[in-house]
Amino acid sequence: MKTNINISYVIFLAATAALGGLLFGFDIAIITGAGPFLTEHFNLSDLSLGWAFSSLLFGCAVGATVAGRLTDFYGRKKILLVVAALFAITSLGTGAAPTFTFFIMARFIGGLAVGGASILSPLYIAEISPPSLRGRMGTLYQMSIVTGILISYAINYLLRDAGSANWRWMFITGVIPSVLFFAMLLSAPETPRYLFMAGKEQQGFVILERIAGRESAEFEASEIRASLLNKRRAWRDLLRPGIRRAVLVGFCLAILVQVSGVNTIIDYAPAILKSAGWKIDAALFSTLIIGLTNFIFTFVSFWAIDRYGRKPLYIIGSLGMTAALVALMWAALMARFQNAAVLVYILVYLAFFSSCIGPVFWTLVAEIFPNDLRGTAMVVPVLAQWIANAAVVLFFPLAFNQIGKGITFGFLAVLALAQALFTWFFVPETKNKPLEEIEEYWKRVAASGAALRAGKGSSL
């Protein structure tokens, strides 16, 4: 089959959708530098501070659930436009919050947008990317997330001495990328797979042809039609044999990616470093180093994900994170939780996460589900990771300050190791496989399991 991939067009579409990731990263991390000033302004306790950080994440869980269902009925593009508008409105609302209750409400509503972007952006990228480029295009989303984190860290540092209202301006700056995201979406098309689902095959075919040429478009169109023959979108269809295992794998990966601690590092880096003896200015400056490390090592995944595959990267990254968390645990238990060493361990942890885990997770969860249920099915891992994220971020200050640093980091290390083991035993390799072929893999797994159970039953 002859393919003439229009690389510049694919990159434009993927980069447009990936801007949702930039806003995701920005909204998640902007509170990192604002946290110390929020604590002083609203006189927050440990649990109140955890609520200030995690309220956005609980909104994310709701946003992911709603967006996942709506996108199968109204399309990817329309819901992304709503998400972009919500980003802008809530950035203003959070910055202008007159009370802590108003602040929490604005952060929660902002979480609806972040949750929507977390499911729609990688889904859009997966559906417009040819198999040979899908891994690298998927990493654009994670690169945008870490870019948003880096930008927010830079804004935090630059506004640290901007007066008592500095934290307000930190949040308000989010309006600028929100407007850019909305404007770029206006010139992007709907995904071809959604158009086929909606009965607009001619429009979908035109986009497929523009992406990879006529011959490839004809092949892709036939594959999409075949995968949509039994089009069903009810929640109960997530339990059908051809998808049930994929849903379970996505769910477990989503829980593990959060409970192994990445957002405790991203969100609470200044607090962790202050506890290691850093002054507030130095701690905020160190977040720039953390953000830059996060950004640079994400490029490793862009180079490696379609070369070495998803599964090897995931295992290597999980083991590297485990080692870094064990080092942090040892430092805390041995009373050596001090200055530069703590920063080094954090940077090692983030290097493994950024190069191996973050990009692969968002690529995998958009790949492993069938066309007719992808939007609905993605709700499960995305919702799970937001709930796990919210719980970890809510209780981390309490655990860190009252249960103890060593125990907290040790717990995270055990879960990072569990992530490596789960990937080894249960996660399939999806490198260079068409989405429809991945769907067939899960059907074969289901058929094999059914045959095995039937054989065991007959032997009894």
For residue 368, give the DSSP letter. Answer: S
CA 133 to the chain's CA centroid: 19
Residue in 290, 312, 209 with CA at minimum distance from that of residue 29: 290
User: Per-residue pLDDT tens for 164-199?
Assistant: 888 999 999 999 999 999 999 999 999 998 899 888
Give the least confident one: 47-61, 110-124, 264-278, 283-297.
Answer: 264-278
pLDDT at 371: 65
What does the alpha-carbon distance between residue 171 and residue 153 come to, in Å, rounded to a whole number?
Answer: 12
Domains and CATH numbers, the chain: 8-188+230-449 (1.20.1250.20)
Give the pLDDT confidence score for residue 369 in this predicted structure: 78
431 DSSP 8-state letter:
T
Classify the phi-psi angles of 370: left when phi > 0, otherwise alpha if psi is within -120 to 50, otherwise beta: beta
Q: 54-65: per-residue pLDDT in tens?
A: 888 889 888 888
Cβ-contact 353, 266 below 8 angstroms: no
User: Is the model more confident about 216 or about 279?
Assistant: 216
- Tell me if 272 sits within 8 A of 400, measured CB to CB: yes
DSSP letter for each residue of 172-221: HTTHHHHHHHHHHHHTSPPPHHHHHHTT-HHHHHHHHHHHH-HHHHHHHH
3-state SS class at 277: coil
Distance CA 113, CA 100 (A): 20
Average pLDDT over residues 234-257: 81
The reply to whether the predicted model has a pTM over 0.85 is no
What does the pLDDT look like over 351-402, one tens digit per residue? 999 898 987 887 787 777 776 677 678 778 878 888 888 888 888 888 888 8
